[in-house]
Amino acid sequence: MHLRPLGRTGLQVSNLCLGTMQFGWTTDERASFAVMDAFVEAGGNFFDTADVYSRWAPGNPGGVSEQIIGRWLKDRGNRDRLIIATKVRGRMWEGPDGEGLSRAHITRAIEDSLRRLQIETIDLYQCHSPDEKTPIEETLRAFEETISSGKVRHIGASNFTAAQLAEALRVAGEKSLPHLETLQPHYNLVHRAEYEDELASLCERESIGVIPYSPLAAGFLTGKYRPGQPQPRSARAGRVREYMNAPGFAVLEALDRIAAAHDMTPAAVALAWQMTRPAIVAPIVGANSPEQLADLLPAAELTLSQGEIAALDRVSASF
């Protein structure tokens, strides 16, 4: 993998980021350790999680992904070589401060995440989604406290609209508060407009490091969902139905052609296309096994021609 600068943070991160939402949900701890080992062995150094992962699953109280990463970090003794990102916002306990981006919630949530991860400092602490009930100034001041205390190095956001991100940047500038340095948008070949319409230009202008989630459209862009074939059994299978139509399958056909020319998987081509976009630092990829991860890792070294990029741009333009 190649190292890229993460916006203006000064951090150098691998051009693929390992997402860990599946740890403790669709992947047990042993398999999670194997995936993390394989990622690091391939040159990856950038891990993304969230405190709420995977609280929606039966029997999962949340925080499980962080706990698994923490035990792995302690066992492997490699914390100093890695960039660890996590997120705050979702409901983690009962009561009025059990969720959100208030100072009260952040103050407790950061301690909980540090304890679960078994580390002293989080490299990138992100708003998981906006909190309309809390003024952004309060959130940024809470983040300022976490930075000044040495618990956090940099801050970012996920799922912010262009207007929300611009407002956070404005308030930070006017009040001399910490600047959101990264953005996690939902972005891929069959979900382009949400990011490209306004967020892309804002991130380029403000030097925001972009680390997209769902770069493979919940597995659709891997090519395992095909017309007239039974759908694979997957916890995320229901999310791909919106792409299973003529325009979506046309994107798969284009990926197939380019993948065959490079002896790569369609997934690797989809990731490589995304890495050609301005401001994109590292797509967030997940895997339930080292074998699944191995299908994605070649994207980090794949260079697409201008013609191939243009062909993918055209076939996905309606998205």
Query: Which residues are part of the catalytic machinery?
Result: 53
Q: What is the DSSP string of 150-208?
A: TSEEEEEEES--HHHHHHHHHHHHHHT-PPEEEEE-B-BTTB-HHHHTTHHHHHHHHT-
Question: Residue 92 and residue 288: Cα distance in Å, rounded?
Answer: 25
d(CA 221, CA 249): 9
Residues 122 and 126: their CA atoms lie apart, in Å, by: 10
β 152-158/180-184 pair status: parallel
Among 222, 302, 216, 203, which Cα is nearest to 1's?
302
Q: At 79, list the tokens.
A: 């914390």
CB 302 within 8 A of CB 268: yes
One-letter amino acid for residue 96 of the chain: P
